[in-house]
Structure 1
C-alpha cells in the first residue's frame, strides 16, 4: 500500500551517473585531466552499483 511512495533507487543512481559523466566531460573540455579521471572513476563506481541492482532485480 505504501510502496507507491517509495522512490526507485535505480532511477536515482542513473541520474547521478549521468550527472557525473557530464561533469567529467566539462572537466575534460577545460583541460583538467586529473579531475576528469577522478570524476570518471566515481561514475564507474555508480555504474557498478547500477549493474548490481539490476542483477538482483532480475533474479
Structure 2
C-alpha cells in the first residue's frame, strides 16, 4: 500500500522497456520480419544502457 506512489528506479524502467520491446519483436516476427529486427535492435540499445548502469 505504501509503495503505491513510489517511483521506479531507472534500472527497473529500463528492464521493463527491454522486456516490452522483446515481446513486441517476438509478436512481429510472425508477420513482419523487418519490423521485428528493428524492435530487437531497439531492445539491444536498452540492454546496453542497462549494462552501463549496472557497471556504475
User: TM-score interval w.r.t. the shorter chain?
Assistant: 0.7 to 0.9
The DSSP-based 3-state class of the residue aligned with 2:28 is helix
The number of aligned residues is 51
Greater Cα radius of gyration, structure 1 or 2? 1
TM-score by length of 1: 0.81
TM-score by length of 2: 0.85
Structure 2: stretches of 5+ with no match in the other structure: 1-5
The structure in which a higher percent of residues are helix is 1
